[in-house]
Structure 1
């Protein structure tokens, strides 16, 4: 299988550093990760040879010290997601809410999109915090228990419904992130924006990047392997 016929999700599973290349070209490898590189480039009207060239350059410079999620057990992967991505969100979501409150108060009258952005972010935060709670209290412990006691067909089939629900919620979060980017014209800082406004837009851009990493790990590694009853991927 050549790179252009692989899905975006597969490309990032093979080398997580490739996510930086796909981000650069605004190719969605998390919720949209089932699309092939060729199809995704066609939809975006991108030159596939240019994208492939950057992917190959990324592969050649791959940092071997980077964590390789494909070598983690399911328990290690769930722990990594919680300790890295969930921990980030538990801190960052309240911070961004606070920044939004300040920016709307100061600039809401002359930056029309801010009120809509605040409403969208408030819903996004509530939904995502509920989503993480379900993973931390139910789904991830279930996955860890099933790995500790080798899964039967009944065990893995019982995971299918909650995992499908989590994936649907990932889609909704991805839609919200797209709306954040569209409203802010790609997180471009308006002229004469204050430091708080700049911090807000930088924080939203970083949130988008982290969410893409986060959802990719769950949708394309943790969940499929849990459903297959796998430990370390061979």
Structure 2
């Protein structure tokens, strides 16, 4: 939990979600990096209690443990969790991280030339993942949810543009692999998301955001590849045996 006496640099170093909160309060991560939170809030005439409350709320919602009862979720409920938690996170964080990549590369690429490649990779990752989420939400997830709804029916012949749910699942898993390769390259280019000692506050927050994004991505892919998709394939197979 951040304290009043911690510097802005320390706060964004220790809490990956802090940067977005501070930016919403117009606390510049670079020019105020060495100021304490109390000092920054006083100079900007902000309620330090309100800022601390928002920082605490953001910390509670950082990528981490999934709900304890997740294994008992129906497929429809699991899909809702994936979309509301992980898809929403991707749509919120990737544009923010991409914007930070452009800012950091524009300021520090002469000293850290790898930032230009990182910038390009994030643009590529955003394009890849946004298209991927649309395919899941418009085609695959509604089909799985419909199967789940009719799980007790004696037969099920949904209308779809594929012969088996295994076909779009395979394509989504290939998409996960493509995104994973980009994230692995980002990890290598950033020295495992460790900013240089001279990095400004925005630079530090950017690498912290990348680290948090990777954590969420691993959870996201695990829930789909290892939990939802195998259950969907098995359910379709069971329905076909019934029919």
User: TM-score, length-normalised on structure 1?
Assistant: 0.67
1:112 shift after superposition: 1.4
Deviation, 1:218, is 0.1
Distance in 2 between residues matched to 1:153 and 1:111, nearest whole Å: 57
- Alpha-carbon distance change, 74 to 65 in structure 1, aligned in 2, over 3 angstroms: closer
Partner in structure 2 of residue 128 of structure 1: 129
2:166 paired residue number? 160
1:224 pairs with 2:230: yes
| 1:67 alignment counterpart | 68
Q: Aligned pair 1:197/2:203, yes or no?
A: yes
Q: Deviations over 1:20-70 (max 9, x none)?
A: xxxxxxxxxxxxxxxxxxxxxxxxxxxxxxxxxxxxxxxxxxxx9943321
Deviations 1:61-98 (A, max 9, x none): xxx99433211000000000000000111110110011
Q: Give runs of aligned pairs for residues 33-44 of structure 1, distance below 5 A.
A: none
Q: Return the match for 2:180 from 174, 183, 188.
A: 174
Contact 1:131 1:166 in 2 (8 A): yes
Aligned residues: 167
Deviation at 1:192, TM superposition (A): 1.3
> Residues 161-198 of structure 1: CA distance to partner in whole angstroms, max 9, x if unpaired?
10000000101111111101000111111121111101
User: Contact (CA 8 Å) 1:189, 1:201: kept in 2 or not?
Assistant: yes
Shift of 1:160: 1.0
Match of 1:87 in 2: 88
Look up the match of 2:52: none
Query: Contact conserved, 1:157 with 1:227, CA < 8 A, in 2?
Result: no
Post-superposition offset of 1:108: 0.9
**Does structure 2 conserve the Cα–Cα contact (< 8 Å) formed by 1:167 and 1:219?**
yes
| CA RMSD after TM alignment | 2.1
CA distance, structure 2, for counterparts of residue 222 and residue 207 of structure 1: 21
Q: Which moved more, 1:193-202 or 1:153-162?
A: 153-162
- Larger mean CA deviation between 138-147 and 214-223 belongs to 138-147
2:181 alignment partner, SS class: helix
* CA distance in 1: counterparts of 2:174 and 2:75, whole angstroms: 21
Structure 1 runs (4+) deviating above 4 angstroms are 151-157
Contact 2:105-2:116 within 8 A present in 1 as well:
yes
Q: Which runs of 5+ in 1 are unaligned?
A: 1-63
Distance change (3 Å), C-alpha of 1:163 and 1:154: farther
Q: Which residue of 2 aligns with 1:208?
A: 214
CA-to-partner distance for each residue in 1:86-120, whole Å, 9 max, x for gaps? 01111101100110111011101110110111111
